[in-house]
Amino acid sequence: MSLPTSQDCILDHIAIAVKSISASQKIYEDLGMTFSGIIEEVVDQKVLTTFAQIDVNAHIELLEPTSNESAIHKFIESKGEGIHHLCFKVLNVKNKTLELSQKGYKFIYPEPRIGAGGCLVNFIHPKSTGGVLIEISQRPQI
Ligand code: ZN
């Protein structure tokens, strides 16, 4: 699966904050999606995460907090379960962070971090994007 070089921004996943991956998985399975079967712990984010493929590029990501300190726990406490962020795949997260910062966008992290699946990620603050938390992500170099 390769990224078309002409397009430096494609939908990678829609992330949904859930109390329980096993309970929520069923909703998407009933819709006809198949989960990878892999539940990964992202220690940095204090979450469990699992993905189901939607199409050739896009996935549904379910995020379950592993701690009351998790941002996902706090999100569920204040807003309830639901869409947490959109993630777009870009060719170079570091460059995109720099480029957008220069345009005045605020990021959650000053430098990209390692996220689920070993991807390099950063998050644009919802205050910069009309209330939508946007993740930008770059596949690990193989
Ligand atoms: Zn994500």
pLDDT in tens, 100-115: 999 999 999 999 998 8
Question: Per the structure block, which two tokens stand in for 37?
Answer: 């079967």
pTM, two decimal places: 0.88
CATH number of 9-138: 3.10.180.10
Q: How confident is the model at residue 90 (pLDDT cuts 50, 70, 90)?
A: very high
CA of 134 to the centre of ligand 1 (A): 9
Ligand 1 centroid to Cα of residue 85, in Å, is 7
Instruction: Convert the pLDDT of each residue in 66-89 to its tens digit.
Output: 999 999 999 999 999 999 999 999
Q: Is the dihedral of CA 40, 42, 45, 46 positive or negative?
A: positive
| DSSP secondary structure letters along 30-74 | HHT--B-S--EEEGGGTEEEEEEE-SSS-EEEEEEESSTTSHHHH
Domain map (residue ranges) of the chain: 9-138
Whole-number Å distance, alpha carbon 135 to ligand 1 midpoint, is 6
Q: What's the whole-number mean pLDDT along residues 86-96?
A: 95
